Amino acid sequence: MSAALKADTTLRGSSELAREAAVSIAEAGAVGDHLGMEMVEERVATHYFACTALAYRGWRWAVTVARVPRSKSVTVSEANLVPGEGAVLSPEWVPYAERLAPGDVGPGDVTPYLPDDPLLVAGFEATGDEDVDQVALWELGLGRPRVLSAEGREVAAQRWYEGESGPTARVAVKAPAPCSTCGYFVPMAGALRAVFGVCSNGWSPSDGRVVSLDHGCGAHSEVDLDVPAPERISPPVVDDFELDPA
């Protein structure tokens, strides 16, 4: 009860009227004990009743009642179900653009347009990085309105390097040599060229994917199998002068 509002005796005595309102909208036997009354405004209060429905543990029936000045007649304003302590609630709603995770986009799906994406900048906007600016100027001729920002490039590079395209992937740890010395390694253009390229080896599990210079796999162009020397078996020697004790 609010300290600024004086308790209304008439509204306090209307608990049975409030119960009838809750019973009228609830399933049979779902309205439990009266839990108390709370003053909302002057001559407006809410009665609370326990909800005994198994599907709504911790919830309460809330019935708001009111009366006009100098009147003893109480009317019901609204009745609904509200969560109480320990009530099971649905997860907080997260906008679609924030729910998406890498790999969620499938055929026919479209991601929402982000006008203020921090990972992109206008293609004609100087970033201060000479390599990036040169790439952006060249890409203007392709009609792309935005290109990677310095932050966007860093985020992508970090994700690639720490994932299956970097040196810590299982296939790279067991590789006999790095991608930087492989003939199938195609360097990338622009600022990412110093760290990444694309694999063009059809035998490699990384074919068509971005790989770091220190990535690697067993399909390296300059590595050969360690072929063991052929096993030599001496033919049996037959001694015609030795008797066979059969």
241: left (phi over 0), alpha (psi -120 to 50) or beta: alpha
Could you tell me if residue 74 is inside a domain?
Answer: yes
Contact by Cβ (8 Å): 213, 178: yes
Which of 83, 113, 133 terminates a domain? The answer is: 83
Instruction: Indicate the pTM of the whole model.
Output: 0.48
* pLDDT of 141 higher than 50: no
Could you tell me if residue 125 is inside a domain?
Answer: no
For position 126, what pLDDT does the model report? Answer: 59
Residue 122 in tokens: 């206008």
**Domains in the chain: how many in total?**
2
Highest mean pLDDT among 109-118, 180-189, 223-232: 180-189
Q: In Å, how far are 4, 156, 204 from 200, measured between CA atoms?
A: 75, 21, 8
Q: For 138-195, where are the E strands, in sequence order?
A: 146-148, 185-187
Could you tell me if residue 232 is inside a domain?
Answer: no
Domain that holds residue 207: 163-212
For position 31, what pLDDT does the model report? Answer: 96
